[in-house]
Chain A
């Protein structure tokens, strides 16, 4: 390849990155760099067992981050996701252990409470015009208080290790055979959808993705999935909770990209007034984003309770909400609204948890973890602002 072709390819890459098609690329590269650096610093990082742990650790925060992606997309923010998750964890633990509810009922109640919180935010934001930043900051404080009340004087409730929620989050793994079949099915479905769409476009003379590109895309997907399943399979395998998280992301991604609701979300985040004038149900869209975010935060809290086999005053407290928001932004979802993808929750949480995990293996304290995560967040926001600024000029 000549130098001129090289430069042309680079330019087209840069253009597509700015246009949003390849917004994920910098963060994927960053993730690989982080893995290589930690792997060299301490080879334990690369062991299958450690990566299995890493994947399990990512689930709860990842689900919360997915909710944050949704509110960021409509140009709002939810600072109370940590408190909502803590409250949900408390409801599940106290409900099933102290009040004798079936575990499933506790989970349902927790998620419904989460949705109710989101509904209140949505209505206060759209009808009263309260800024979501202050509104959810108030929610953070109020719900943390409610969480402590629910937990009672002990401040900590343990879940029995045999309960399905704990097994779901800790020790339930997809059997290897099932995992491999799933890989094949996923790749076939992706390829099938791409080929069908290509055929429809070719039939009406629209520009279509080339067969080569579809093949390359599916091959890449197959390799990534096979690597994950194969490598994690050398230890305990792929956790069922991990699959659950990824399934949520896939559902959110399809809803965002392929449905009218998803289009409305991006439109409202891009320009609320333009969306309103075009006939988009702006209020309903905003409310749905808040409800979905709080519901996902509650699910994240339930998963955290399962992972810890306990709920206490610290569950969902501290930096959980900051980590979740940071994960969404690091993963490439814009703080300014209208730009982002469900997959940024996966990438962002992997970056943050990899840093945390790697630094722990290096015997560095949480101070170092905090500093490094902060620097990465600053870099991610710089990229976001840079991309946005260049587009506006």
Chain B
């Protein structure tokens, strides 16, 4: 199967800290790929790289097998990759419609086309079965789950092929977590590929097709979600003896100088 999005041997350092080392990742169409790992494993850096916030020091990012440079979030979006960040990146002072279309406003002549935007906002939120009291409320007045829904809905606006969700269930209650996970499944059934970044193995096993484990910036195992047990995942996350049957890359000791 051809992959929509591929990372090939990608490394990224921040000063002396090596956030990602020689990471390979493939995202296939209509697939939920989960990336799990402990704090500091490089998950958020990976998300930021897919979203175009950071650029890799070495290695390649390929979209449809073609090398691309995701120089900014806008370029990533043009390439069909949209991200929802951990901190949601919503403007509290703007209302739901304004946030949804921020940076991609619809215009009629020189002016904003509020009517068209408001209408599309309702359609989108209905498709996601999202309950928001009013699209003309400032997002500061919404609950945590509603804010997350707005952030996810915003990512869907350009009809991206890959949606990157960075810790979408962090700091959410049980019910809201379930809602977000249902939303992830709805994204897949709408035809999007999803990269789900999380530290919760339970959430990931509930919705993912494949699970990639990051440890200290390296890929420490790729699992089939159906076959992998929590013990396998925990072992790969913590670096305990990697005995999982589906492991492709056993945990390697950190080596200096990114290998190719």
Contact B102 A278 (CB under 8 A): yes
Indicate which residue in B89, B119, B138 contacts A204 across the interface (CB closer than 8 Å).
B119
Contact A270 B93 (CB under 8 A): yes
Indicate which residue in B83, B91, B115 contacts A200 across the interface (CB closer than 8 Å).
B115
Q: Cβ of A258 < 8 Å from any Cβ of B?
A: yes
Contact B137 A277 (CB under 8 A): no
Which residues of B (131-155) have their CB < 8 Å from a CB of A? Answer: 137-138, 140-141, 154
Mask, A195-239, CB within 8 Å of B = 1, is 001001100101000000000000000000000000000000000
Given A267-B102, A392-B140, are A260 and B107 also a contact pair (CB < 8 Å)? yes
Contact A276 B73 (CB under 8 A): yes
Contact A278 B92 (CB under 8 A): no
Q: Cβ of B257 < 8 Å from any Cβ of A?
A: no
- With A and B bound together, what is the CA distance between A47 and B31 in angstroms? 75
Q: Cβ of B14 < 8 Å from any Cβ of A?
A: no
- With A and B bound together, what is the CA distance between A392 and B90 in angstroms? 14
Contact B85 A19 (CB under 8 A): no
Contact A279 B73 (CB under 8 A): yes
Contact A280 B138 (CB under 8 A): no
- With A and B bound together, what is the CA distance between A336 and B76 in angstroms? 31
Indicate which residue in A197, A204, A275 contacts B102 across the interface (CB closer than 8 Å).
A275
Residues of B in contact with A, size category: 35 or more
- With A and B bound together, what is the CA distance between A270 and B95 in angstroms? 11
- With A and B bound together, what is the CA distance between A269 and B94 in angstroms? 10
Q: Cβ of A263 < 8 Å from any Cβ of B?
A: yes
| Minimum CB–CB distance for A276 against chain B, Å | 7
Contact B89 A273 (CB under 8 A): yes
Q: Cβ of A307 < 8 Å from any Cβ of B?
A: no
Contacts of B77 in A (CB 8 A): 279
Q: Cβ of B8 < 8 Å from any Cβ of A?
A: no
| Minimum CB–CB distance for A333 against chain B, Å | 12
Contacts of B104 in A (CB 8 A): 278-279
Contacts of A259 in B (CB 8 A): 110-112
Contact A267 B91 (CB under 8 A): yes
Residue of B nearest to A206 (CB): B118
| Minimum CB–CB distance for A131 against chain B, Å | 21
Q: Cβ of B244 < 8 Å from any Cβ of A?
A: no
Contacts of B87 in A (CB 8 A): 273
Q: Cβ of A20 < 8 Å from any Cβ of B?
A: yes
Contacts of B128 in A (CB 8 A): none
Q: Cβ of A67 < 8 Å from any Cβ of B?
A: no
Mask, B50-85, CB within 8 Å of A = 1, is 010100000000000000000011100100000101
Q: Cβ of A391 < 8 Å from any Cβ of B?
A: yes
Contacts of B114 in A (CB 8 A): 197
Contact B137 A19 (CB under 8 A): yes
- With A and B bound together, what is the CA distance between A139 and B94 in angstroms? 32
Contact A277 B89 (CB under 8 A): yes
> Which B residues contact A (CB, under 8 angstroms)?
51, 53, 72-74, 77, 83, 85, 87-94, 98-99, 102-105, 107, 110-112, 114-115, 118-119, 122, 137-138, 140-141, 154
> Which A residues contact B (CB, under 8 angstroms)?
19-20, 197, 200-201, 204, 206, 258-260, 263, 266-267, 269-271, 273-280, 338-339, 391-392
**Pairs A-B, 10 closest by C-beta atoms:** A279-B103, A270-B91, A270-B93, A338-B93, A278-B103, A274-B89, A279-B74, A278-B102, A277-B89, A258-B111
